[in-house]
Amino acid sequence: MTVKTLVVNESTTFECIESQSGLCYFKVSSQRCSKESAMTTCVVVHIDSFELQPGKAKEFKGVNIKEKFLHCASALKF
């Protein structure tokens, strides 16, 4: 299985390039941080679980430019 992740400013695109099973499965979370006084607090929020056929892509837009998308991908359903 081959997947591609493209990050441009505050958006991230996940693309399924090829998969022996015919589908790529993704789980996407986001790390969101906020600074309060001298402390930075980060929380990981689950956003979506989805499947893509080879050649298909899905884009996520962040809340702000500091938001980081975390993902895992698999050729088998999670």
Is-contact 16 23, C-beta < 8 A? yes
What is the tens place of the pLDDT at every residue in 14-69? 999 999 999 999 999 988 888 888 898 889 999 999 999 999 999 988 776 677 88
Note the pLDDT of residue 65: 62
Give dist(CA 1, CA 24) in Å, integer: 7
Note the pLDDT of residue 71: 87
pTM summary value? 0.79
Is-contact 4 18, C-beta < 8 A? no
